[in-house]
Amino acid sequence: MPKRRLLSQAFSERALRDYEPRICAHIEAWIEAIQNEIGNGDGDGDGGLADIDLGQWSNYLIFDILGDLGYGSSFGLVTTATNRSVVDLIPKATGGWYSPLRRILFQTPLGAYLGGPSYHHNIQFRTFCLSKLKERRQKDAAEKAEEPAAAAARRVMFTHLLHGRDPETGEGYSTGDLACESVLLMVAGSQSTAGGLAAIFFYLAHHPAKLARLRAEIHGAFAREQDIRYEYASCALATLPYLRACVNESLRLSPPTPGHLPRDVLGPGAVAMIDGHAVPGGTTVGVSPYALHRNPSYFRDPLGFVPERWLAPRDGDGDGDGDGDGDGDGDGDGRGGPMVMGMVGFAAFSGGPTGCIGQQLAMVEMSLAAARLLWRFDLRLLRRRRRRRHSDSSSPVEFVAKDRFVGQAEGPRVRLVVSCPARRGEAD
């Protein structure tokens, strides 16, 4: 799969090391922008601070990072409101593809007349992606004369794609391939990660005891907000077990690509054996991560938000059965399951040769952004915002998303309260 080999150069460990300082700089600007947005109240009680849509703010951050790492210039959504409409363009553009009739129409000249607004949003979105690619090409030509060290510091995903050569065949990307990659990267790398981050904030805001446990873990590991780094530098954020568990558990309950990803059984006359079933050639098959993640064979108490199920024995619950009771029998309160069962049924990033190539990058972005925001702010859920899937008040809350290839959700709207050891110290 030569295309994948080329793409993987933009997501190698070395590339991620180059990206990390820039991701941190974006997150720092994001936290300051949020701080400005909500004002500088002291966090006593509920008064004085504005509530905020962390879903939208997650979008602004992740788009800016993608603009910078993908094309070499941030979209500037965190600092200015001017370009923020691009965030809504993807759902508007992809929405139309979910109507089979529109999908056919879009590929004919009639699409412009009968395809409705989503046809035009689609064109706008593609034009946006191609304009970013064009800008990148121009910059690339201008940067050619730079010192190698300066060029390395500026390397972005499209530098790898524009200059990459398949090590086996020596082939690079064609112009048409680059255009497709630009659209793919923009869809795959933005709202997926932003939705994942929003889901983390949603579930933690609804589970104050788990939020407190996570904040204690982060404050215990990092004395200063600016010390928070991922595993590619001095401090290993990636090794914080409860943070990792909260990220996994949020992705389990609200996978950013919730629907089935179609796979065709190839070849007339071919038969694929899938889980003991003979599936004939020409059949489209797929597994929905949303459904898989709710399968009780893999996850006990599948609808509950139970980060503890992801902890290994050494990480604090002592028995690794995920039920948090420490007795090792796994049925203390009927929740959780051995971690290995969880991993088998966990498919937020899919897997195999077409699995998410941006998984590591997404984990770095979500972990760093969540840890830095929660280091400084406590989350308070506004009472009227508590959301349940069913009217039954005992059913677990869910971050509900529409399946538009990437799930599209609203919120969460929360109140942020400045509450961290260093800032309290400054006030004393």
Q: Smaller CB distance to ligand HEM: residue 240 or 370?
A: 370
List the interface residues with ligand HEM, window 171-190 (CB under 6 A): 184-185, 188-189
Q: Which residue has the tokens 């796994």?
A: 330
Residue 237, interface with ligand HEM (CB under 6 A)?
no
CA distance 147 to 149: 6
Region near ligand HEM per CB under 6 A, out of 101-109, 274-282, 338-346, 351-359: 351-359
Residue 61, interface with ligand HEM (CB under 6 A)?
no
Q: Smaller CB distance to ligand HEM: residue 63 or 375?
A: 63
Quote the tokens at residue 345.
């049924």
Binding positions for heme:
356
List the interface residues with ligand HEM, window 292-321 (CB under 6 A): none
List the interface residues with ligand HEM, window 241-280 (CB under 6 A): 256-257, 261
**In the complex, residue closest to ligand HEM by CB:** 358
| Element at 23 (helix H, strand E) | helix 13-38
CA distance 267 to 239: 45
Q: Smaller CB distance to ligand HEM: residue 86 or 420?
A: 86
| Element at 379 (helix H, strand E) | strand 377-381
Residue 401, interface with ligand HEM (CB under 6 A)?
no
CA distance 205 to 413: 10
Q: Which residue has the tokens 């809350």?
A: 397
Residue 334, interface with ligand HEM (CB under 6 A)?
no
Residue 330, interface with ligand HEM (CB under 6 A)?
no
CA distance 327 to 321: 8
Closest Cα to residue 189, out of 166, 162, 165, 158?
158
Instruction: Count Cα neighbours of 37 within 13 Å in the Cβ-side half-sphere.
Output: 20
CA distance 222 to 249: 23
Q: Smaller CB distance to ligand HEM: residue 255 or 320?
A: 255
Residue 348, interface with ligand HEM (CB under 6 A)?
yes
Residue 56, interface with ligand HEM (CB under 6 A)?
no
Interface residues with ligand HEM (CB under 6 A) are 4, 66, 184-185, 188-189, 192-193, 196, 256-257, 261, 348-350, 354-358, 361-362
